[in-house]
């Protein structure tokens, strides 16, 4: 999608619907709960437009899923239906627009993806062909083994004759991005309160008046919940599947080994601008380790456990790469990914209390830049943006 198409679509998609939510507030007080990539970007967009904004997190910025993510920005497989795919397409362009404001560490080099299993490989091709039938889509193609090998000489594609090449995918240093955005948010007058745990809502006549936290009461007109896997607990909802853990390895910086995002069998790999290699295992820590995982830790309980999982992931990655033998792993973490029951984002007002808004999704990294713009517009102009209608929390009522 080129910039002209993006601008045109944004103009159309942000037109207000026929629904009205009352008078537009002047300099509203807003508290954002959750300082991951979604919450931080929403807080920034709001304060930039003149709102009085506080952001809180029960730990610190990027302490949740955002700080323990593979950090892949994409708009291809398996993002469906079209409305979800389109939102992701707009997300890529919104990031590129934000790059005029921030010096993000994003490598827009695309991705290469394949499966070892024949049926999974055929399903991948089928999904890609379906995406290419959409009215708009990010460029994706099925290329030959030799083409893929020339792009990534340190990757072994096995006996696969064809590989999926998604040209517009990017990989971001999410923690660095959150630090940049939070710094600008505070420079513009926003207030950060960490650690600060949300406890409960206080309402009067169906309207939000304040929230209780373990640091005291915060008076507010709106509360935006961008707290990932804590969303259901905080709001008494039932919208999420059981959160799934993903193990992320980060190496010390090394010479250039990989140009693109390598979406290989069992392990995904990309290399940041500073040379650090990120490896993400999508299956994550085994859920049958119930006692160890019930508190959803971001770290393993012992160095021994950490080393066992690191060795297993590295062994899998070495099956289809060259050059990983010499890298040194600097950090191992577990990311707990929020996943709505129907696998698509949850964005919008909660009807039972006026002033409550939810922004929760598994594809938080991909969608943060566009969702933050749309959420800030919905709230500050008190309207409903049609492109978000398919993602409303009311579908779980």
CA proximity to 159, closest of 118, 128, 122, 127:
118
Continuous segment of H or E residues that includes residue 13: helix 3-13
DSSP symbol at 198:
E
* HSE toward the beta carbon, residue 286, CA cutoff 13 A: 6
Looking at every residue in the chain, the average pLDDT score rounds to 91
Separation of alpha carbons 28 and 43, rounded Å: 13
Please give the biggest Cα pair distance in the chain. Answer: 66
Burial of 114 (0-12, 13-18, 19+ CB in 10 A): buried
* Per-residue pLDDT at 12 exceeds 50: no
Separation of alpha carbons 67 and 321, rounded Å: 25
* Per-residue pLDDT at 221 exceeds 50: yes
Q: Between residues 234 and 246, which one has the greater pLDDT?
A: 234
Separation of alpha carbons 214 and 198, rounded Å: 7
pLDDT band at 289 (very low <50, low <70, confident <90, very high): low
Q: What is the pTM of this model?
A: 0.93
Separation of alpha carbons 67 and 298, rounded Å: 10
Task: Give the pLDDT of residue 20.
Answer: 42
Overall fold of domain 108-169+241-337 = D-Amino Acid Oxidase; Chain A, domain 2 (3.30.9)
Chain-centre distance for alpha carbon 387: 18
DSSP symbols for 251-315: EPP-S---SSEEE-SSEEEEE-TTS-EEEEESS-S-TT-HHHHTT--SS-SSHHHHHHHHHHHHH
Which residue is listed with tokens 């069992």? 266
Mean pLDDT over residues 266-282, rounded?
94
CA proximity to 228, closest of 94, 379, 77, 345:
345
pLDDT band at 25 (very low <50, low <70, confident <90, very high): low
Give me 292's structure tokens: 């160890």
Give me 167's structure tokens: 């040209």
* Cβ neighbour number for residue 115 with a 10 Å cutoff: 19
Instruction: Give the least confident one: 23-27, 42-46, 333-337, 354-358.
Output: 23-27
Dihedral angle computed from the Cα positions of residues 251, 242, 372 and 23, in that order, rounded to the nearest 10 degrees: -160
User: Long-range pairs for 234-240 at CB < 8 Å and ≥24 separation?
Assistant: 234/33, 234/198, 235/350, 235/356, 235/358, 237/350, 237/358, 237/393, 237/396, 238/396, 239/340, 239/341, 239/346, 239/360, 239/393, 239/396, 240/338, 240/339, 240/340, 240/341, 240/360
Could you report the per-residue pLDDT of 85-129, keeping only the tens digit for each?
999 999 999 999 999 999 999 999 999 999 999 999 999 999 999
Could you report the per-residue pLDDT of 173-194, keeping only the tens digit for each?
999 999 999 999 999 999 999 9
Domain spans in the chain, listed from the N-terminal domain onward: 3-71+175-239+342-396, 108-169+241-337
Sign of CA dihedral 77, 82, 83, 87: positive
CB 170 within 8 Å of CB 92: yes
pLDDT band at 39 (very low <50, low <70, confident <90, very high): very high
Q: Interior CA angle at 98 toward 2 and 70, to 5°?
A: 95
Mean pLDDT over residues 20-25, rounded?
50
Task: Give the pLDDT of residue 10.
Answer: 56
The CATH-assigned architecture of domain 3-71+175-239+342-396 is 3-Layer(bba) Sandwich (3.50)
């Amino acid at each position: 999608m080129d910039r002209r198409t993006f601008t045109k679509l944004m103009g159309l998609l942000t037109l207000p619907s026929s629904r009205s939510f009352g008078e537009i507030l002047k300099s509203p007080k807003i508290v954002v709960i959750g300082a991951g990539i979604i919450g931080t970007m929403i807080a920034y967009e709001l304060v930039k437009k003149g709102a009085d904004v506080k952001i809180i997190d029960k730990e610190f910025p990027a302490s949740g899923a955002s700080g323990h993510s593979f950090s892949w920005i994409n708009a291809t497989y398996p993002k469906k239906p079209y409305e979800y795919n389109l939102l992701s397409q707009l997300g890529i362009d919104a990031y590129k627009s934000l790059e005029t404001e921030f010096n993000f560490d994003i490598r827009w080099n695309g991705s290469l993806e394949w499966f070892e299993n024949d049926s999974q490989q055929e399903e991948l091709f089928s999904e890609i062909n379906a995406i290419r039938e959409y009215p708009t889509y990010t460029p994706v193609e099925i290329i030959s083994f030799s083409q893929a090998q020339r792009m990534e000489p340190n990757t072994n594609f096995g006996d696969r004759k064809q590989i999926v090449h998604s040209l517009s995918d990017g990989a971001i240093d999410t923690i660095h991005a959150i630090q940049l955005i939070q710094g600008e948010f505070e420079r513009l007058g926003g207030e950060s309160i960490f650690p600060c745990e949300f406890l409960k809502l206080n309402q009067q006549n169906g309207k939000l008046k304040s929230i209780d936290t373990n640091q005291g009461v915060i008076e507010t007109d709106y509360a935006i919940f961008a707290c990932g896997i804590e969303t259901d607990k905080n709001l008494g909802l039932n919208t999420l599947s059981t959160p799934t853990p993903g193990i992320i390895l980060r190496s010390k910086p090394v010479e250039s080994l990989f140009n693109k995002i390598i979406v290989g069998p069992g392990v995904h790999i990309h290399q940041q601008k500073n040379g650090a290699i990120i490896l993400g295992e999508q299956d994550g820590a085994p859920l049958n380790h119930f006692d160890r995982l019930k508190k959803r830790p971001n770290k393993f309980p012992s160095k021994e456990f950490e080393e066992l999982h690191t060795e297993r992931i590295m062994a899998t990655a070495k099956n289809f790469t060259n050059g990983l033998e010499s890298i040194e792993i600097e950090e191992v973490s577990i990311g707990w990914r929020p996943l709505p029951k129907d696998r698509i984002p949850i964005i919008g007002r909660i009807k039972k209390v006026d002033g409550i808004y939810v922004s929760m999704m598994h594809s938080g990294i991909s969608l943060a830049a566009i969702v933050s713009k749309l959420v800030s517009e919905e709230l500050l102009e008190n309207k409903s943006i049609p492109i978000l209608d398919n993602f409303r929390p009311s579908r779980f009522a």
